Amino acid sequence: MALYSEKVMDHFRNPRNVGVIEDADGVGEVGNEKCGDIMKIYLKIEDGIIEDVKFETFGCASAVASSSMATELIKGKPVAEALELTNKAVAEALDGLPAYKMHCSVLAEEAIKNALEDYYKKHPEAK
C-alpha cells in the first residue's frame, strides 16, 4: 500500500493557492517544533466571504498537501464556515493521512483559525 493517497501526492506536487496576499485581512502562522513544519495562511475577506486565500508552507509532503487542501476547502466560503473547518475534514478530503502525519492537518486548521482571529482583531465590526 502506498504511504500517501493520490490526492496527497497531487496537492504536494501541484499545490493550490501558494503565495502571499500583501494586503491580507488576516494572517495566521503556526509551527511544529518537533517536525519543523511552518505554515502561514493569508486571507482576503469581502462581506464575510473568503474571497482569496494563499499559503506559504515549509514542511513535508503532508504539510504542503494539508495547506493546499485546507485553502481549497475555505475559498469562497463564509467566515463562519471556515471557522468550523477541522483537521479531520482536511485529512478526509485528502483521502487520509498516515497517523504520524495527522499533525500536519492540525497545523492547517490552526493556521486558518489564527488567520481568522487576526482578521477579527483588525476588523472587530465583522464579529
Q: Is 126 a domain residue?
A: no
Domain assignment present for 1: no
Whichever domain contains 95, its CATH number is: 3.90.1010.10
Whole-angstrom distance, CA of residue 86 vs CA of residue 1? 26
Domain count, the chain: 1
Pick the catalytic residue from 35, 83, 89, 102. Answer: 35
Residue-range definition of the domain harbouring residue 112: 6-120
Instruction: Give the amino acid at 96.
Output: G
User: Is 35 a residue of the active site?
Assistant: yes
Could you tell me if residue 15 is inside a domain? Answer: yes
Q: Among residues 45, 64, 79, 104, which one is catalytic?
A: 104
- All three cell numbers of 58, joined, read 515549509
Annotated catalytic residue 60: no
* Structural domain contains residue 90: yes
Q: pLDDT by residue (tens digit) across 69-112?
A: 999 999 999 999 999 999 999 999 999 999 999 999 999 999 99
* 28-74: pLDDT as tens digits: 999 988 888 999 999 999 999 999 999 999 999 999 999 999 999 99
